[in-house]
Structure 1
């Protein structure tokens, strides 16, 4: 059975932006694209464990704020060195104006 967790209101995330969400001892990054879609990944860069919510979102890419490594936040794919390990992604949805992720 799916374990969907409420993150925030959809309007709390600007277009082409990311927010940090902590659940227990885990941290996630939740993104909003320009088409109104929401996406979720692990919240820490796979290179040096820096919070991605402090990074820059460009189109479907998140850039880590420490060493400028990039990931596709929709697929988790590592796109630019120094990152070489993909991010884990999680299903995300909007229900009644609330962003939820499945973990």
Structure 2
């Protein structure tokens, strides 16, 4: 089976506590570096009001939607703060530090 991971950004361009938006075909992703330097990729739309999560604030291992304050766990996509009650999809990430690349598998099945 071929490797489905594709490069989406340079690790050196994403500081801890920062999020960027990435488009892969019809898929819009928020690629986020948490406060500890871990990298995550999730659907770039708040499940409450279709707002870009990549414009939100990263705190620890969460991202907060700037419009209504819903917070999502970067590892699971689960909402941690109302008004959102539905999770957002998360995608597997690999980091190739030698090539300074963040790679995402956009074909991964939806997370539960």
With structure 2 as the length reference, what TM-score do the two structures score? 0.86
Asked if 1:20 is matched to 2:21, the reply is yes
1:77 paired residue number: 78
Could you tell me how far 1:71 is from its partner in structure 2? 0.4
2:58 paired residue number: 57
Secondary structure of 1:80's aligned partner: coil
* Runs (4+) off by over 4 Å: none
Query: Any idea what the Cα deviations from partners look like across 1:9-42, whole Å, max 9, x if unmatched?
Result: 1011110111110111110011112333211111
CA RMSD, Structure 1 to Structure 2 (Å):
1.1
Query: Any idea what the Cα deviations from partners look like across 1:39-83, whole Å, max 9, x if unmatched?
Result: 111111111111111100000110001111110111111101000
With structure 1 as the length reference, what TM-score do the two structures score? 0.94
Contact 2:35 2:61 in 1 (8 A): no
5+ residue gaps, structure 2, are 107-112
